[in-house]
Amino acid sequence: MSITSIYARLQPSEVWRHFAALNGIPRPSRHEAAARAYICAVAQQCGAIADEDAFGNLVVRVPASPHRETAPVVAIQAHLDMVCEKRPDVEHDFVTDPIRARIEGERVYASGTTLGADNGIGAALALATLTSSGLEHGPLELIFTVEEEIGLNGANALDPTLIRARQMINLDSEDPEELTVGCAGGSGAVFRIPITREQAPTGWQVLRVGVSGLNGGHSGVQIHEPLANAIKLLVTALDVLQEAGIPYRIGTLAGGNAHNAIPRDAAATIAIPAERRSEAESLISRLDARLKAEWLEAEPGLQVTASPLPAAESVLPAEMGAVVMDLLRALPHGVLRLSEVFPGKVETSANLATVRTEEAALVVAASTRSFVVAELDRLQRELQEIGSRAGAELVPRPVYPAWEPNRDSELLRVAERVYREVAGHPAQVQVIHAGLECGIIAAKLPGMEAVSFGPLIRGAHTPEEYVDIPSVEATWLLLTALLAALSG
């Protein structure tokens, strides 16, 4: 079955047609060229103008519908790239392979990979305003940014001279009950610890200690949920060996795949005295049983295993391994503070995201988020102190600003009214503990008002990502009704 035929009966047909096309176009961050080419081709077919800035962001200018030419210009914004996560047993090259979508009930999933509904559905909704007939709207500017998932790089580099609009609808939200009017800012760091290697002690056994089967999740939107961090659990497993007096030397460490995803898998190769292999395997087996009981409801697929491997060629010296473990223990993960302004919302959080051993260095990435600039600064200082103790070179991640809520926004007033008319009940006006591009773009364009909404998407940044089919149509109805209201 072709990608397009999967969506053939879904409504609105133009939205799903464009989403099907994007499913077929590999688009990891920094590889958005083919998606850009698709959008430019659609724009050309419709007689619209597409302008590209020096960084690769696109702005497509959509003429107003008849008798709406004098209405204010409205921007519709989405990003083209997607987080690329897959299950360990799935063969998939995100640079060359299309997404294999499937429908289960009223949900669209991929087959063992991220779906890219974040933010492919947003991009498809924007494109559908260009190719759908009979809509009422003023002049539109469709803004398609790149490299959002690796630091909002496209938004940071966006050429503001391409944009005339001072009202912007962002389509990168994931809860259809909400109108989002603010988001957390973010930062973080990459640590590089220089390492040396030595021969493993003679007669020692190599084990692979692994943590797998976790759900993972979005490191902002889902950081408050009971989701285990595979790297932290791997540290727990190695600490169990240490507490039992079993000496070990680290060969390799690997865990996590993206700075904005809670790691689902992690593994270490270690060398231990051969005569203590059975004891070590028994300890890991007991830990597996204990953690499965603790995480029974939240992480039903959790597994902690120890399995023998051929002899290691080299390992880290004991002192260096201890420094590495101290770093991984010290790095914060999870909710650090709840908001006093927005009850129930996370204010500040951290994600221990990835770890890798390279030939000459151990590389660890951590990300941080907060609505409060001072908290981001404090966390950055904390990361610097932790890295300094480990002798690590610290490369800060670029800071992106929080999007400050503006409850006096005229755009929000109209959006609330239209939402009530379309949905039959009031919207929840909320902020989100994740990075949206609205704050960055608004800072470039004085007077810009923004609001964000979108369909129901769950499991973003994981292979369990899905989009709810009926909510896509509901989002389309809200978007088109809002465009009509803003042009009237």
Which residue in this structure is represented by tokens 């221990």? 352
The amino acid that residue 90 corresponds to is V
Q: What's the angle, vertex CA 57, arms to CA 52 and CA 59, rounded to 5?
A: 60
Helix (H, G, I), strand (E, B) or coil at 93: coil
Please report where in the chains the tokens 């608004």 appear, as a residue. Answer: 442
* Rounded CA separation 62/187 (Å): 35
**CA proximity to 101, closest of 220, 41, 174, 92:** 92
The set of catalytic residues is 81, 148
Q: Each residue of 70-85: b (16+ CB within 10 Å) or e?
A: ebebbbbbbbbbbbbb
Name the DSSP letter for residue 223: T
Buried b vs exposed e over 404-436: b needs ≥16 C-beta within 10 Å? Answer: ebeeebebbebbbebbeebeeeebebbbbbbbb
**Closest residue by Cα to residue 256 from 226, 240, 233, 285:** 233
Rounded-to-integer distance, Cα 25 and Cα 20, Å: 9
Please name the residue that has the structure tokens 């990300």: 367
Q: Is 458 helix (H, G, I), strand (E, B) or coil?
A: strand
- What amino acid is encoded at 288 in this protein? D
Q: Do residues 443 and 135 make contact, with C-beta atoms less than 8 angstroms apart? A: no
Please list, in sequence order, all residues whose beta carbon lies within 8 angstroms of the beta carbon of residue 437, skipping any fewer than 6 positions away. 77, 79, 145, 148, 152, 154, 155, 170, 172
Sheet containing 101-104, strands listed edge to edge, beginning at the edge strand earlier in sequence: 101-104, 107-110, 466-468, 457-458
Host H or E run for residue 183? strand 178-183
Half-sphere exposure (Cβ direction) of 180: Cα atoms closer than 13 Å: 29
